[in-house]
Amino acid sequence: MDSTWGIFAIIVIYLVGMVAVGIYFMRRNKSTGDYYLGGRKLGPIVTAMSAEASDMSSWLLMGLPGVAYLTGVADAAWTAIGLAVGTYFNWLIVAKRLRRYSVIAGNAITIPEFFSNRYRDKSNILVAVSAVFIVIFFIPYTASGFAACGKLFSTLFDVPYFTAMAVSAVIIVAYTVLGGFSAASTTDLIQSIVMTLALICVVLFGISTVGGTGLVLEQAGELPGYLSLTSIYSGGGASEYGAIKIASTFAWGLGYFGMPHILLRFMAIRNEGEIRLSRRIASIWVVISMSVAIFIGILGYSLSKGGMIETLEGTDSEKLIIVIAALMSKSGILGIVIAGLIMSGILACTMSTADSQLLAASSSISENLLKDVLHLRISEKASLLAARATVLLIAVLGVILAVDPNSSVFGIVSFAWAGFGAVFGPVMLLALFWKRSNRYGAIVSMLSGGIMIFVWKYMVRPMGGVWDIYELLPAFLVAIVLNAAVSLATPAPEAEILEEFEQAAK
């Protein structure tokens, strides 16, 4: 049995299954509320795993192992630690309050709508600014997923990158357009299981091939700073990974408070009482999956040192897990099946994020910009058609941005993550937990957070030294300080708003 065709057959079966889920849920979407929020009927397991699967994206199986493979533990580990802490606290302090408050505040079904209802923003400026930033940052985020799929298929089947990437995009768009939020959440649950199995299979195969965990760690330990949390391997030597760099990388965790596709899961859970179970499931899965992903990077070094796989450099390091799967496929029928599972796992990472991003961006345009800002009066059926058309439009723009095969999946995700964290994180936290915050503070916060991301990324950070800080941290701090300052300097919220806040806080 030819290994390539065997892997291809398994992937096709997987993709057909995902589209089938979309067709199943297509008939159950009777309104935009169903399409974008699943009628608030998600169970705790689906909520937890779909939230984390949509969070991890292709960087879990490609970006994170690639970083660990090239530079060692420090950069990947501090990123993972920050994300693990952020995951836990997002579920602990935001999930329950947002689920309750989004219902109280006019039964909002999108994040921009929640902000607008929360602050009684009749001018619709909050909705417009929110929707625009969602589109700005989600299009490149979605593009990173398409790029990951393109790298996967072009490497595995030796087909042109663009063709592979475009076909992948069509599949993702198909089940998202058909089934909406329920389809995306259900497929995300399935994909989280596939991702987990893929991680386990790679680790077990790699360890057995190298000759044991002890040998893997021994070989990695021979490289200066490779296994250290305070130094980083670079160019044959080690350089310091100091406190500023650690704080900067750890700040990835702040991004969770502003991720629309994750926050929507909190709004969609069936009832508040199930959030505790969801939190435990999500937190445990995140810690285990990221730890295993980092270990795969270390494992990859041993495999390349032993000549079992080629040495990977630069952005090619993100193909590590693909190369390992290809090696596995040479070990017989069982190896082919497992390799196909791993490839499907990479697709799962990508698809579980891309579908959620497409929906969140689509809702911002069709629901918030067309209805709330432009005041277009359209029927429920026409609104659903507009929603699906918007998903297609955003996907096309994502494909255009993903044309370059040399783009870094980790780099694109890093920038988009920072953008959402700084734009929406401070506003979400103060909207939920500070009753004195008002719409003026929220608007200034979003604008300053978004602008600061670009300023720090392209003007300040290139200066290096103490300025080489992940843009999310300074942008988040600026946004939350300005939010508070402007809110205090402008009129206090009306009594009706304060009453709703107190009701949500009970």
| 277 and 184 Cβ atoms separated by less than 8 Å | no
- 418 located within any domain: no
Q: CA nearest 112: which of 93, 134, 91, 136?
A: 134
Q: CA nearest 398: which of 67, 206, 140?
A: 140
| Residue partners of 13: CB distance under 8 A and separation at least 6 | none
Q: CA nearest 183: which of 3, 290, 27?
A: 27
pLDDT at residue number 142: 75
Best mean pLDDT range from 169-178, 215-224, 305-314, 444-453: 444-453
- 416 located within any domain: no
- 479 located within any domain: no
pTM for this entry: 0.80
Is the predicted pLDDT of residue 395 greater than 80, yes or no?
no
pLDDT at residue number 187: 65
Per-residue pLDDT tens over the stretch 212-226: 999 999 999 889 999
Is the predicted pLDDT of residue 26 greater than 90, yes or no?
no
Classify burial at 158, counting beta carbons within 10 Å of its beta carbon; exposed 0-12, middle 13-18, buried 19 or more: exposed
Average pLDDT value over all residues in the chain? 82
Is the predicted pLDDT of residue 1 greater than 50, yes or no?
no
Best mean pLDDT range from 20-29, 61-70, 301-310, 447-456: 447-456
- 66 located within any domain: yes
pLDDT at residue number 42: 66
- 489 located within any domain: no
Spatial separation of the C-alpha atoms in residues 10 and 347, rounded to whole Å: 12
pLDDT at residue number 181: 55
Is the predicted pLDDT of residue 383 greater than 70, yes or no?
no
Classify burial at 2, counting beta carbons within 10 Å of its beta carbon; exposed 0-12, middle 13-18, buried 19 or more: exposed
- 11 located within any domain: yes
Is the predicted pLDDT of residue 149 greater than 50, yes or no?
yes
| Residue partners of 174: CB distance under 8 A and separation at least 6 | 19, 22
- 369 located within any domain: yes
- 486 located within any domain: no
- DSSP helix/strand/coil, 233: strand
Classify the C-alpha dihedral 334-336-342-348 as positive or negative: negative
Number of folded domains that form the chain = 1
Q: Of 310-319, 438-447, 475-484, which range is least confident?
A: 310-319
- Residue range(s) defining the domain that contains residue 358: 3-406
Spatial separation of the C-alpha atoms in residues 260 and 357, rounded to whole Å: 8
pLDDT at residue number 254: 93
Which CATH number fits the domain that encloses residue 375?
A: 1.20.1730.10
Q: What confidence tier does 426 reach under pLDDT thresholds 50, 70, 90?
A: very high
| Residue partners of 206: CB distance under 8 A and separation at least 6 | 216, 296, 299, 300, 302, 303, 324
- Other Cβ atoms closer than 10 A to 247: 14
Structure tokens at 429: 């936290």
Query: Which residue is associated with the tokens 């990123």?
Result: 79
Per-residue pLDDT tens over the stretch 338-349: 888 777 777 766
